[in-house]
Amino acid sequence: MSIIPTHSDLIPQPNAPDYDALVDGTLQLLRHKTAEVYSVTYAQWGNWCDELGIDPLNINASTVRAFLNDQHTTMSTRRGKLTAMRKLAQMLMKAAPGEAKYKVAYDWLKELKPPEDNLSDTERPKVALSPAEANRAMECWDEASNQHKRNRALICVLLATGIRRAEAAAMQWQHIDFNEGTIYIPHGKGDKARTVAIYGNEALRALAAWQQAQGAGRAWVFCQVNKSDRLQADAPMTPPSLWRIVRETETRAGLAHFAPHDARRSLLTEMLETGSPLTDAQAQAGHANGSTTMNYMQATDARQRRRKGRIRYG
Domain count, the chain: 2
Q: Please indicate, yes or no, if residue 125 is contained in any of the structural domains.
A: no
Residue at which a domain ends, from 77, 111, 145: 111
pLDDT of residue 295: 29
pLDDT of residue 19: 87
Q: Please check whether residues 44 and 80 belong to one and the same domain.
A: yes
Q: Please check whether residues 92 and 170 belong to one and the same domain.
A: no
Which among 74, 76, 46 is positioned nearest to 59, based on CA atoms?
46
Q: Please indicate, yes or no, if residue 165 is contained in any of the structural domains.
A: yes
Q: Please check whether residues 55 and 149 belong to one and the same domain.
A: no
Q: Please indicate, yes or no, if residue 279 is contained in any of the structural domains.
A: yes
What does the pLDDT profile of the chain (314 residues) look like in tens digits? 344 433 333 334 445 678 888 998 999 898 877 888 898 899 889 888 877 778 899 999 999 999 998 888 889 999 999 999 999 999 999 998 888 999 999 999 999 999 888 787 766 667 788 899 999 999 999 999 999 999 999 999 999 999 988 889 899 999 999 999 999 999 887 678 999 999 999 999 999 999 999 999 999 999 999 989 999 999 998 777 888 899 899 999 999 888 888 898 888 888 877 877 888 888 888 876 544 223 223 355 677 677 767 788 87
Residue 49 sits in a domain of what CATH number? 1.10.150
Q: Please check whether residues 104 and 236 belong to one and the same domain.
A: no
Q: Please check whether residues 169 and 272 belong to one and the same domain.
A: yes
Q: Please check whether residues 43 and 140 belong to one and the same domain.
A: no
Integer Cα distance of 108 and 132 in angstroms: 48
Angle at 87 between CA 95 and CA 185, to 5 degrees: 90
User: Could you list the active site residues?
Assistant: 164, 189, 261, 264, 287, 296
Q: Please check whether residues 151 and 281 belong to one and the same domain.
A: yes
Q: Please check whether residues 166 and 20 belong to one and the same domain.
A: no
Q: Please check whether residues 147 and 280 belong to one and the same domain.
A: yes
Q: Please check whether residues 82 and 155 belong to one and the same domain.
A: no
Q: Please indicate, yes or no, if residue 124 is contained in any of the structural domains.
A: no
Residue 259 sits in a domain of what CATH number? 1.10.443.10
Residue at which a domain ends, from 76, 111, 146: 111
Residue 220 β-bridge partners: 172
Q: Please indicate, yes or no, if residue 3 is contained in any of the structural domains.
A: no
Domain, as residue range, for 237: 131-308
Q: Please indicate, yes or no, if residue 126 is contained in any of the structural domains.
A: no
Residue at which a domain ends, from 111, 144, 161: 111
Q: Please check whether residues 157 and 86 belong to one and the same domain.
A: no
Q: Please indicate, yes or no, if residue 46 is contained in any of the structural domains.
A: yes
Q: Please check whether residues 64 and 199 belong to one and the same domain.
A: no
pTM: 0.63
Q: Please indicate, yes or no, if residue 298 is contained in any of the structural domains.
A: yes
CB-CB contact of 244 with 43 (8 Å):
yes
CB-CB contact of 242 with 223 (8 Å):
no
